[in-house]
Structure 1
Amino acid sequence: MKRPERKFLCLFLAITFIILSCYSKPDMAFAENILENPGFEERGTEGLPEGWSVVPHHREKGKAAQDDENAYRGSYSLRLSPNKKNDREGYAVFRVLNIEDISGQKVTISGFVKVEGIGKNNVAIALKTDKAYWLKLPSDTEGKFVPFSKTISIAKTIPEAVLLVFVSGTAGDVWLDDLKLLVEKKPRASSQKKTQITAPGKAAQGRQPVKLGDPPATASILFISNRDTRKQRREIYAIDADGGNVTRITFTKKHHCLIGMDRSRRYIATSAIAEDTKKPRGLGDEDRKSLWVIDLETKTEVRLTDPRYFAEGDSFSPDGQWIVFFMKLGDDKQMDIYKIRRDGSELTRLTNTPMALEGDPSWSNDGKRIVFTSMDITLPNPRFILKTMDVNGGDVKTLYDGGPGIEIKGAWPAGNYDPAWSPDDKWIVFERAVEDTGGNAGSGIWHIFKIRADGSEVKNLSLAGGHADRAEYLPSFSPDGKSIIFGSIYQAKNPKESHIDIFTMDSSGGSLKRLTDHPANDMGPVWIPMR
């Protein structure tokens, strides 16, 4: 889950975290913010955030826009600016809501408001359903943000659902920030039992031919890089253990985010993006990804999950028949762990934990356990902790917490990420942030740790090895257990020249060796299994 360049997942986690944090106890109603807008970086009509429009006959009376510079605490500021003294019709923008989202529900409108030059009592919000519910905003808002909130019970049968922001008065500016419309939902029942799900698996794309290179016989490592695309988009490469003989493997024109290989060395699992869903930026981390399997022998690929579900994973079962991964299914406001057969059949949900985000699963080499990360937002200081479970989702155990930890503000919640087993399953490596300095091209400092599989003897390998000033990610043991490979970014003299390279160290953190040194980003390394 922690990847140096994956800005979209950063944003997605942050948004989900904000939504879930509105309620801190499992027995409280689950609140869904139906105004949350994952695509807020894109402008809609009139410069507004996506989904908003100006009331047609008010277009000449002012302007409305998303205002990043004046953002206070939310995902965007909505700025309204009348350009002259308005008549009694005023100036307004609106957003059409899904009737099913709020019919018969209790909804709460909340946010922060600031005015400059508009005058008191000249800003209001209306929720129009079976009637207009008017929310008069605070009057002491000149030059400062002031919170507001109102709860409304909506009739079960309504003809429409429109949220209207209305301004009257002289020219000036109004900012609405962290604007939310929370709809109370009944909490989902807690369950750790296996749940069979068929919908996404049945939508698996048929096997298609794909242009592939062959990994050299000497290759020991796979990694992803944008060294040939010169854009965000990354392809898959192979490299020898000494850093030589770099060979491009995929020519798929996809953006590969995370990869893993089965023990037969025939199949590659990749979390990849095939469609530019956030145009016109091109394929990149902000787009929606799917789980794919590449067959190096037949030179074909198959998509296992629909991109709507944000699936991500790279870990095969020891027999190569299953892949464990995480995704956000349908309308879920949580992320859970799933497993699926390599051919896209038998999609099975392994976790279903209310008020939690779960990800980064890794299958043990004996095939008996799965380690994963879990963030329970009911904790006083929510952070990702390490847990293990059996391969059917039962016998869940907490492996390691580590305390409050360091949050990379605006990007990553605190805690532990990307656990991976040693070949003998006695140790698990992972990374966690230890300092949010803004260094290392804004990534902060991340250290690699290892812990015994029973939760004892935690060791900081980055500190022990003398490379504690870097951001180090995605560690994994070599097949013989003697080395650990990982990606690392560290501050160059010119921050714009900082890039991610691949390193190895011994299992104690020492003998640091750099395998790549390229102006592009070489990242996400995994070992090729021994024959």
Structure 2
Amino acid sequence: MFLLLVACSGERATKPVPADTYNIAYNVLHDAETDDYEIFVMNADGSGKKNISNWKGVDWVYDAYDDKLFFLSDRDTCYRCYFLYEMDADGNNVRKISDLRLQDCWITLRKNGAELIINPRLDGREIFYIIDRSGNLLDSIAPPFAYMNDPVFSPDGQQIVFRAAKDRPSKERTDLDELYRINADGSGLQQLTHYPKDDTTANWHDYHAGPPRWNAAQNIITYQSKLQGKYSLYAINPDGSGFHKLIKNNNLNEGWHHWSPDGNWLAIEMFDDEQTIFDIYMLNWQSQEITRLTDSDTFEQAPVFVKPAKM
């Protein structure tokens, strides 16, 4: 591990998180030739790395609640046909939640982990479903977009922020992906981000507004965006105001990330401009220090905070 001093904005934490308070789950490209992605877990200080999925296919963790991990997998089905699963933070008690095929998409939970928002794979339809942990459909939200993805609940579960565009992703599209907010009942749609029209450094398939994360303690929404040729994390207020770069003086690209439940720590994947090396880093919101937690030559991505499995 090594430390990198940076400058951050916003309120600061009051004390370091103990290493045994949280674990970090993350995704590893275990075998590029067979497209084998495995889910690993490590301690918050980077020690104790362990493969907990051990499945020769695509397993990808997206969120956690308490000591439970929620992930998409193509196990027992066709290649990259994704279904929703749950397991303990140590890899035990793997359970398929739903037989509904899903888009490759971020998911989040609300109501103390009782409900999830997902993006089903339905031909010709873009819609979000809210389901319970048994896979029962509770509600649906269908904003008027040709493309939408990566929904996240507000801390109180009453609002949803998501990525969307009026056009499907393609070289010919004219409408870029942006973040939008909507009430959980489908009312009150509002655009939150506005990618600068004079910035042409991002390709059509790059994130103009990447998957959002909502920090309840700081009351900000964070996301990655490729601006001026580099991926960085940016923050906005829940109404879209207050746009600013989250981390200053960092030469690496910043990508998928996850806030600790107390909002004081940020786990981030960082990578080089050529996107050949992906590692997991931890940002201390108080001290402005970034600690590198992984250092192998494999792709290690999309960290998620989770409590250690109950004994």
Which TM class, normalised by the smaller chain length? 0.7 to 0.9
**318 and 347 in structure 1: CA distance in 2 versus 1, 3 angstrom threshold:** closer
1:476 is displaced (CA, Å) by 2.2
Whole-Å separation in 1 of the counterparts to 2:187 and 2:210? 21
Q: Secondary structure at the match of 1:512?
A: strand
Which residue, 477, 485, 495 being the options, matches 2:267?
485
Deviations 1:4-24 (A, max 9, x none): xxxxxxxxxxxxxxxxxxxxx
Q: Is the 8 A contact 1:269 1:313 kept in 2?
A: no
The normalised TM-score by structure 2 is 0.79
1:275 is displaced (CA, Å) by 5.7
2:232 paired with 1:447: yes
2:109 paired with 1:316: yes
Whole-Å separation in 2 of the counterparts to 1:348 and 1:221? 31
**348 and 448 in structure 1: CA distance in 2 versus 1, 3 angstrom threshold:** same
2:296 counterpart letter in structure 1: H
In the alignment of these two chains, the number of paired residues is 285
1:523 counterpart letter in structure 2: Q
The one of the two structures with greater contact order (alpha-carbon pairs below 8 A, sep at least 6) is: 2
- What residue in structure 2 maps to residue 370 of structure 1? 160
Deviations 1:161-209 (A, max 9, x none): xxxxxxxxxxxxxxxxxxxxxxxxxxxxxxxxxxxxxxxxxxxxxxxxx
Deviations 1:23-63 (A, max 9, x none): xxxxxxxxxxxxxxxxxxxxxxxxxxxxxxxxxxxxxxxxx
Q: Is the 8 A contact 1:431 1:472 kept in 2?
A: yes
Q: Is the 8 A contact 2:218 2:263 kept in 1?
A: no
Q: Is the 8 A contact 2:255 2:268 kept in 1?
A: yes
2:40 paired with 1:237: yes
2:189 paired with 1:396: yes
Whole-Å separation in 2 of the counterparts to 1:314 and 1:425? 21
1:467 is displaced (CA, Å) by 1.3
Deviations 1:96-120 (A, max 9, x none): xxxxxxxxxxxxxxxxxxxxxxxxx
Q: Secondary structure at the match of 1:503?
A: strand
- What residue in structure 2 maps to residue 411 of structure 1? 205
State the percentage of identical aligned residues: 19
Q: Is the 8 A contact 2:129 2:137 kept in 1?
A: no
2:269 counterpart letter in structure 1: G
More helix by share: 1
Q: Secondary structure at the match of 2:240?
A: coil
Whole-Å separation in 1 of the counterparts to 2:214 and 2:299? 25
2:141 paired with 1:350: yes
Aligned-pair Cα RMSD in Å: 3.1
Whole-Å separation in 2 of the counterparts to 1:296 and 1:483? 19
| 5+ long unaligned stretches in structure 2 | 1-18
2:47 paired with 1:269: no
Q: Is the 8 A contact 2:25 2:304 kept in 1?
A: yes
2:276 paired with 1:502: no
Deviations 1:70-114 (A, max 9, x none): xxxxxxxxxxxxxxxxxxxxxxxxxxxxxxxxxxxxxxxxxxxxx
Whole-Å separation in 2 of the counterparts to 1:310 and 1:324? 12
Whole-Å separation in 2 of the counterparts to 1:424 and 1:368? 17
Deviations 1:422-471 (A, max 9, x none): 133611110111145xxxxxxxx211011112222111124x2x114x33
Q: Secondary structure at the match of 2:289?
A: coil
- What residue in structure 1 maps to residue 95 of structure 2? 301
1:340 is displaced (CA, Å) by 1.4
Which residue, 130, 145, 154 being the options, matches 1:339?
130
Whole-Å separation in 1 of the counterparts to 2:214 and 2:143? 23
Whole-Å separation in 2 of the counterparts to 1:387 and 1:402? 13
Q: Is the 8 A contact 2:283 2:290 kept in 1?
A: yes
Whole-Å separation in 2 of the counterparts to 1:364 and 1:454? 12
Q: How does 1:449-468 map to 2 (within 5 A)?
A: 449-462=234-247, 464=248, 466-468=249-251
**Range 268-277 or range 417-426, more displaced:** 268-277
Q: Secondary structure at the match of 1:400?
A: coil
